Structure 1
């Protein structure tokens, strides 16, 4: 122990001497407990005093380093405490079981959503995220910004389509000044300024170290080297923070923009379906809208944040470095530097290729290539049956070659421009930087006649470093012009997408017809919305009534488009009872819930292309009513269920999800439903054997590509299971049993009649007449005929159909003879 005392005393003397030499602080009589306060007070005094420049600079470096170290420590402690509390809440520190919600989201009464997002390696860890309610008024207001932006700006003296579009989009990215994205942007600007300020410190310290080396002052060299390592920590922290904030800001922008798009694209106004009717939109956006939503949004957000950082950092550097260099180079020197920048920028702007248009074309080619591969996946079985490999390969090769041509075109154009840009910005500006950095040294030596090598070397090192940094800032600013050109392409695609969605999402959407509600980007003659869609829809009706409706295919021609059926009129049930019982979705199907009164049914018959399915589209309100005296009366959405020709199945959904569609899995449990209801429904539609394929009722949780797992008949029976689960009073079936056997078809239609559903069947088979009360025959000449089955007229029409079948049966013998002769000929070949 006695031998260690001299060593401790030696260390103590070195520490005291270090404080004295570096900061001029005497700590001989200081108490250890008061050491932090004494040092911080002395550092603050040095910064505010006008004493030694070196000590003041060291005090600044030490305070900055201590501040960043303290901030890092506090952040680490706060994150550790947060992680510990999260584990305690999750029950990770005790052995008792912890109940956790397993479903993904909850819809609150005000329209907000609470989502549970899994994170980490453990699937049990879920983060609760609250998403605010959708604001329909905002979308109605914003549509006018997208509609009139071009007209309101083209009359100005300086007009930039890119700036006008970006000025509207930023309201989505940063909705208000108190938004978290505004704070992140402020933090990013703060760290950008901090990095420039630290660069000035590093430049000065670099010159001081060179001076210490030339003057062979080892003590100052060691002190300045220690300051170098201290300033390196906040400088590294700042660079990391800037990159993190840029990425975080990009992700937040993407969240805001994606949600904004989803709220319009996927809502009860069916914009995802109606968007195909918007003939005013750019064809590339409509054809590749999935690529625009999934890829273009991410590229746009990354490009916006990247361009902002690439512009803000050089501008800040130019301002700070110019102010510092002005004392050495003078106003004329700084003015000459900026004149050089502007001349270079003007020169490079003239030589810059149209990267915005090229990038937009490349994105369109990527979308075409991606969509065709998606088409191959969705129709792989049909293509395999047709043996269409050669045709598909040729089509894919054409799209791939087009994509490669667009990508190579962009790279080829960039290569020529980059060669000129690098020569001017890197080498020419660097050489000019050496020239400008040497001006103070040459002028001072020439005027005084004294060559002070240490001072001149220090000044040259500092000026050279700042001049090179200034040249680098200018070159990055010029490079950002190219990034802005690419951002222009992404901005235009996103803006066109949002313009289309706003136009389609609007209540007054005319299905592609040119109206005064158009986007204002063309000079086509327009008409009022009321002159295009003039029909009337009556909701919450106790039946389905179609009165004097012209069935017209939606197009830009409006009511002058192709008419399929003229003045269609029918009603189900034929007599409307004002007070009719409704179904209770909370009651099990096993309790034999039936609707009061007998169910009415209508069979719609007709050849292909006559407009049968179009009637279902009008009833579902996805097609408009053009004629003024047309009236559609429909029940509430919960009382009407439409079954399309092609059964739809949720991708990667459970069997339960398929049976209860369009109800979400969360709502199924939240409304008190049980799996036993689904088991009973499967028994009703003769699909209970599906539960024997695996683990009984747990098979309801099985995930698969159900459209491939189930056969055509099973998929159609799932549609009937959905009807039995939702129990609507009215159902519209479009070719709902064309893949089902005759005995099963008979059972399912009798099932609907047993539970007294009102249903409309669209089919081409007259054999279904026996299950319906009325028949509506659609002809190919826009005419139609409605009759009640069981009347003399209906019996006569059925007898005619039977006579036609009997006539065909009389030809069976002759057809069999022809077949036998063909078989004999084939045997001789």
Structure 2
């Protein structure tokens, strides 16, 4: 590199001063530039005013939520999304699930890595050929120019394939991550009834589990996959471009430029608002808005009967307002941060980068002008690429902040559905197994509701097969609490439950539950009766199942639903809840009970919509199938089908009266 004398530097500085003055005067004399500048300032003032008004309105309407969910940056709370050690620990845990040891996933990662290296090397070659093309033009060499054009033609084909491959591989990686993470979540969510504990018992304080599984996991995988390429390629570009630029302009100027980038990156990061927490808050509000729509669909008939359209519209618009208001608040912060990012990392960096690039070539002497032009063009492309790569690396914190918000919500989901050692130890101590067949015993059982209300206290009794039990009591007395404990949905506060050995096997449950409004599965008529079992593959086994299904439908007088001309048992509706009446739904629940033939069954107002003169026949079928029934009911007419009466006093003492009928 040519040595620079003090006189040369002085001449350059004086010349630069005059150029700056002339440029400023030229700017002030240009009416178009003045108009653009004025319009920009007016627009900025308008946006700033709207930002201030919106921020004040949102804070006034949601001040408590803002203090709780979007705390100040310096406040660190457990579980708050932030780019810190907790975030990286959570991220690595989730990525181990996403990547695992699957060769297909590793092949995608390695293939994309190779493509990223190839793209960076191709960028260097394109920059080099750009300089060679300029040199050929200045030298007026048609042959050299033709060589450069041919080279560009070939590189264009290669670049198109690589760029499309990178996008395709990123999409495949996103799908692989989502498939593995969602499958893992389903495994945990649907094991040991974790979905019930999370949704009903509120263990783990988990909100909107459906939105987290369907939306948050998808966005986490998309962001994580995108971050992989956005981090590795810029880093490789910086290394390769720096090595090549040093041959043209030397290392001192590059050190100054990179020092500026790292200093500006620290400043930008320091003034950045808590985007990760804002993203987590937006996802929470989106989940609340989605849940409001889901509730309207679920209870559409009740709302229509009550003419509640206006009320529901107000609720939906209120939830929508929460989403849009906070989103606009978030986008405004993005707008403000974008101004700083654009100016500091792009335009001010260009002002600093141009002298660093130009001075070495301005001071070179004794070199062919075409060679100077070629190397300047090459260095200009390289420094733009390196500066853009460094800017991308410095802007990775935004992606990390976004990823942090999704990581926090996904990790909260995983933690909520993960079986707790405390729960497992309590289950083993409260639920005992006995070799006595069909014997169920409650000893000194005390049960409290999830909100802490005392329902049952010091209850001891045995359930004998063949003796049906009628359970009565006031609304809210906790009549189903005893059977929730027996089904191991709840853990008793005190006492023990002894069940036959093997009763914990969820595939062959000891207890079958038939509610007042039975759950109707998505699927065929056969699936409604066989649920939770499925028999989809045709064959001898399914033929025997179909015969049993038809028999059960006949017992509950629902053969009218079977129509061989419309697919028979394979016929399905979009939603069976929309086509069956309340009584028909209860008959489906009883047909399901007869199909599975459990040893014990809880009928929770399961015949309230069925004609009273038909109840006797249904209870007789239970007796023929050796099903011992626990009937939760308000009608004392059902006493004639039972041998034991349990009555909850509901006086706050947890006392239960037991009477033989």
Q: TM-score, normalised by structure 2?
A: 0.82
Q: Deviations over 1:9-42 (max 9, x none)?
A: xxxxxxxxxxxxxxxxxxxxxxxxxxxxxxxxxx
Q: Could you tell which deviates more after superposition, 604-613 or 414-423?
A: 604-613
Note the C-alpha offset of 1:722: 1.0
Distance in 1 of aligned mates of 2:134 and 2:214: 53
Distance in 2 of aligned mates of 1:212 and 1:423: 36
Note the C-alpha offset of 1:702: 2.5
Q: Tell me the equivalent position of 2:89.
A: 164
Q: Deviations over 1:708-760 (max 9, x none)?
A: 21111111111111122112232221111111111121221122223332222
Distance in 2 of aligned mates of 1:696 and 1:544: 45
Distance in 2 of aligned mates of 1:204 and 1:260: 48
Q: Tell me the equivalent position of 1:509.
A: 423
Q: Does 1:707 align with 2:577?
A: yes
Q: Quick one: which of 455, 458, 462 aligns to 1:571?
A: 462
Q: Quick one: which of 221, 230, 252 aligns to 2:176?
A: 252
Q: Secondary structure at the match of 2:107?
A: helix
Distance in 2 of aligned mates of 1:316 and 1:353: 29
2:446–2:495 CA contact under 8 A, matched in 1: no
Q: Tell me the equivalent position of 1:716.
A: 586
Q: Deviations over 1:53-106 (max 9, x none)?
A: xxxxxxxxxxxxxxxxxxxxxxxxxxxxxxxxxxxxxxxxxxxxxxxxxxxxxx
Q: Secondary structure at the match of 1:566?
A: strand
For the pair shown, the structure with the greater C-alpha radius of gyration is 1
Alignment of 1:98-117 (within 5 A): none
Q: Quick one: which of 279, 301, 304 aligns to 1:384?
A: 304
Q: Tell me the equivalent position of 1:406.
A: 326
Q: Tell me the equivalent position of 1:543.
A: 438
Distance in 1 of aligned mates of 2:600 and 2:502: 8
Q: Tell me the equivalent position of 2:416.
A: 500
Q: Tell me the equivalent position of 2:57.
A: none
Q: Deviations over 1:157-204 (max 9, x none)?
A: x9622212212222111213x632222112212111111111111111
Note the C-alpha offset of 1:462: 0.8
Alignment of 1:212-361 (within 5 A): 212-267=136-191, 269-276=192-199, 281=204, 283=205, 286-361=206-281
Q: 1:540 to 1:185 in 2, by over 3 A?
A: farther
Q: Tell me the equivalent position of 2:69.
A: none
2:442–2:495 CA contact under 8 A, matched in 1: no
Of structures 1 and 2, the one scoring higher in RCO (CA 8 A, sep 6+) is 2
Note the C-alpha offset of 1:631: 4.1
Alignment of 1:374-773 (within 5 A): 374-445=294-365, 450=366, 452-502=368-418, 505-506=419-420, 508-509=422-423, 534-538=429-433, 542-555=437-450, 561-573=452-464, 599-628=466-495, 631-632=498-499, 636=503, 637=505, 638=508, 640-666=510-536, 671-672=541-542, 673-692=544-563, 695=565, 698-773=568-643
Q: Deviations over 1:766-789 (max 9, x none)?
A: 111111122222222322222322
1:540–1:635 CA contact under 8 A, matched in 2: no
Q: TM-score, normalised by structure 1?
A: 0.66
Q: 1:669 to 1:635 in 2, by over 3 A?
A: farther
Q: Deviations over 1:631-661 (max 9, x none)?
A: 4558735363422424333443111110111
Q: 1:572 to 1:668 in 2, by over 3 A?
A: farther
2:223–2:399 CA contact under 8 A, matched in 1: yes
Structure 2: which 5+ residue stretches go unaligned?
A: 1-75, 78-82
Q: 1:280 to 1:773 in 2, by over 3 A?
A: closer
1:661–1:722 CA contact under 8 A, matched in 2: yes
Q: Tell me the equivalent position of 1:67.
A: none
Distance in 2 of aligned mates of 1:221 and 1:697: 72
Distance in 1 of aligned mates of 2:567 and 2:364: 92
1:550–1:563 CA contact under 8 A, matched in 2: no
Distance in 1 of aligned mates of 2:385 and 2:626: 82
Q: Quick one: which of 111, 118, 141 aligns to 1:194?
A: 118
Distance in 1 of aligned mates of 2:559 and 2:434: 37
Q: Does 1:362 align with 2:282?
A: yes
Q: Could you tell which deviates more after superposition, 723-732 or 347-356?
A: 723-732
1:641–1:731 CA contact under 8 A, matched in 2: yes
Q: 1:464 to 1:182 in 2, by over 3 A?
A: same
Q: Secondary structure at the match of 1:509?
A: helix
Q: Deviations over 1:366-412 (max 9, x none)?
A: 00000010000000111112222222222112111100011101111
